[in-house]
Amino acid sequence: MQKITTFLWFDDKAEEAVDHYTSVFPDSRVIDVQRYGEAGPGEPGTVMTIAFELAGQRFTALNGGPEFTFNEAMSLYVDCADQAEVDMYWEKLGEGGEEGPCGWLKDKYGLSWQIVPRVLTELLRDPDPATSARVMKAMFGMRKLDVQALEDAGRQ
């Protein structure tokens, strides 16, 4: 078991969200489901927590009620090998949610994701500061990140 596990607080959609996330990421699975009993505070028999893995990374989702909601101060970063992966994750995680700037989106459950092609990190590490500045400027003009446009900005 990993030492630190990301814990995600949902109002009442933890099971639905986990089903969605595990359908999107390869090497993902539900590990354990715990349900509320007679002591509550949730309805007896409904999901309290779900332990799950996404691409081998462990998480726990809780149906904790409406007291807390997600915001952009916490996001999940998805490293994408190429534009096809960017497109797939952007479409599947963004469905019913909202697009943000610079490769960020919120899914329909309010969780923020960064969908980032690996080439962006490589270009931003370029030893020429002018190259990384052009790439950064190009990224700031995008919602879903465009690998070809980022590479073009790096070559100008």
DSSP string across 41-67: SSPTTSEEEEEEEETTEEEEEEE--TT
Return d(Cα 137, Cα 93) in angstroms, integer. 25
Is residue 98 scored above 90 in pLDDT? Answer: yes
**Same domain, yes or no: 74 and 62:** no
Range of the domain at 77: 70-156
- Encode pLDDT of 112-127 as tens digits: 999 999 999 999 999 9
What local confidence, expressed as pLDDT, does residue 156 receive?
Answer: 87
Question: With 80 as the cut, is the pLDDT of residue 1 above it?
Answer: no
Looking at 38, 68, 98, the residue that finishes a domain is 68
Averaged pLDDT, 19-35:
97
Question: Do 75 and 62 sit in the same domain of this protein?
Answer: no
CATH number at residue 119: 3.10.180.10
Contact 106, 93 (CB under 8 A): no
Q: Is 17 a residue whose pLDDT tops 90?
A: yes
